[in-house]
Homo-oligomer: A and B are copies of this chain.
Amino acid sequence: MSAKETEISDLGEFGLIDRLTKDFPIINSETKLGVGDDAAILAFGEKDVVVTTDLLLEGIHFDLRYVPLQHLGYKAAIVNFSDIYAMNATPRQITVSIGVSSRFTVEHIDMLYSGIRKACEIYGVDLVGGDTSASVTGLVISITCIGDVEKGKEVRRSGAKPTDVICVSGDLGAAFMGLQLLERENSVAAQQKDKDFQPDFAGKEYILERQLKPEARRDILELLRNEGVHPTAMIDISDGLSSELLHICKASNVGCRVYEDKIPIDYQTALMAEEFHMNLVTAAMNGGEDYELLFTVPLTAHEKIEKLKGVKMIGYITAPDLGAALVTRDGGEIPIKAQGWNAFNA
């Protein structure tokens, strides 16, 4: 520990909470009472309240050898905002709980919170509560996000109907390839004798950013609203396209056909997959952590969607007995299975 670093035990739990939360302004008028009481108080009037939660554990969800704490904080907030947007709602408040082992100093936790604060600023979200604790092992981050949505405007997973068009925002597989690159460079660095060794990430900035600093697609919801398109079902892509398609099919009791050649993939993702001798479509279907929006719209919205920048139509919804399948370039059909990331098998 250097001279400017502070032991967490010097501050104690309440001192740490005060320090961590003091720079978070209250942005939303719905936030009546934030941090500092038994609970926060929110006033939503006539809107519906939406709530989601995410638990991130060191060694399972993130590896601090190559994930900077500031990025980790940013991403931890974003993944929750993304879930709220995936209901067609607006994130308004978060609570952040952390468990911290003794190898972390106050300055480390400041870095984590500066990332959370940045995300809150950009997306207009208030920090309203949380809990801090010691941990006997690594870092634990639990975030709950609360949002609001006009009554009747929420989009669930369960509303997809046969003939609906399946749409996806952005491109897929980049976050996964970014992770592969980080893991490789980390193991290369570990073998170097030169301690000033720096990995060369030139030309790979996009896939790294997709992994380390993803964004939530609030812009896509705005585009859809401006065009008057209301999705019938929606989900965000956290575990991979395959897994999310199956969630929509199960909740809506439908099947689907998705075209391999329609899946949006960035050039850097493709290059990296080649370098790693990985199947590109598998990476895009099952990679996860893209935080893009997957949604369905009525067939009649086809022309409006076609005009939207950053949205691709990748297939259509079918009757349930047809199941979920990927249509390959040669016209064959492969059943879609959830090969998404399963932390229990990791």
Q: Are A343 and B13 in contact (CB under 8 A)?
A: yes
- A111 close to B (CB within 8 Å): no
Q: Are A9 and B342 in contact (CB under 8 A)?
A: yes
- A183 close to B (CB within 8 Å): no
- A174 close to B (CB within 8 Å): no
Q: Are B38 and A43 in contact (CB under 8 A)?
A: no
- With a 10 A CB-CB cut-off, give which of A132, A135, A151, A345 has the most chain B CB atoms: A135
- A154 close to B (CB within 8 Å): yes
Residue of B nearest to A234 (CB): B38
CB distance from A345 to the nearest CB of B (A): 5
Copies of this chain in its oligomeric complex: 2
Q: Are B140 and A138 in contact (CB under 8 A)?
A: no
- A332 close to B (CB within 8 Å): no
Q: Are B95 and A144 in contact (CB under 8 A)?
A: yes
Residue of B nearest to A239 (CB): B13
Q: Provide the bound-state CA to CA distance between A162 and B204, in Å.
A: 64
Q: Which residues of B contact A268 (CB under 8 A)?
A: none
Tell which of A86-94, A270-278, A307-315 binds the partner.
Answer: A86-94
Given A8-B344, A46-B45, CB of A57 within 8 Å of CB of B135: yes
Tell which of A47-55, A114-122, A190-198 binds the partner.
Answer: A47-55
Q: Are A38 and B342 in contact (CB under 8 A)?
A: no
- A98 close to B (CB within 8 Å): yes
Q: Are B134 and A136 in contact (CB under 8 A)?
A: no
- A251 close to B (CB within 8 Å): yes
Q: Which residues of B contact A129 (CB under 8 A)?
A: 51-53
CB distance from A335 to the nearest CB of B (A): 17
Q: Which residues of B contact A44 (CB under 8 A)?
A: 44, 49
- With a 10 A CB-CB cut-off, give which of A131, A135, A142, A251 has the most chain B CB atoms: A142
**Count of chain A residues near B, Cβ 8 A:** 76
Q: Which residues of B contact A345 (CB under 8 A)?
A: 9, 12
From the candidates B87, B131, B344, name the one contacting A13 in the complex (CB within 8 A): B344
Q: Which residues of B contact A14 (CB under 8 A)?
A: 338
Residue of B nearest to A147 (CB): B39
Q: Are A131 and B55 in contact (CB under 8 A)?
A: yes
From the candidates B11, B140, B154, B235, name the one contacting A55 in the complex (CB within 8 A): B140
From the candidates B33, B49, B142, B235, name the one contacting A156 in the complex (CB within 8 A): B33
- A133 close to B (CB within 8 Å): yes
Q: Are A54 and B135 in contact (CB under 8 A)?
A: no
Given A136-B57, A137-B138, CB of A32 within 8 Å of CB of B51: no
Within 8 A of B (CB), among A123-174: 128-138, 140, 142, 144-147, 149, 151, 154, 156-158
Q: Which residues of A contact B (CB under 8 A)?
A: 8-9, 11-14, 16, 32-33, 36-46, 48-55, 57-61, 83-84, 86-87, 89, 93, 95, 97-99, 128-138, 140, 142, 144-147, 149, 151, 154, 156-158, 234-236, 251, 338, 342-346
- The contact sample of 30 A-B pairs, CB cut-off 8 A, is A9-B342, A11-B344, A12-B344, A13-B343, A13-B344, A33-B156, A37-B158, A38-B52, A38-B234, A39-B145, A40-B51, A41-B149, A42-B50, A43-B49, A43-B151, A44-B49, A45-B46, A51-B51, A51-B95, A52-B95, A53-B97, A53-B142, A54-B131, A55-B132, A55-B133, A60-B99, A60-B133, A134-B343, A136-B137, A136-B138
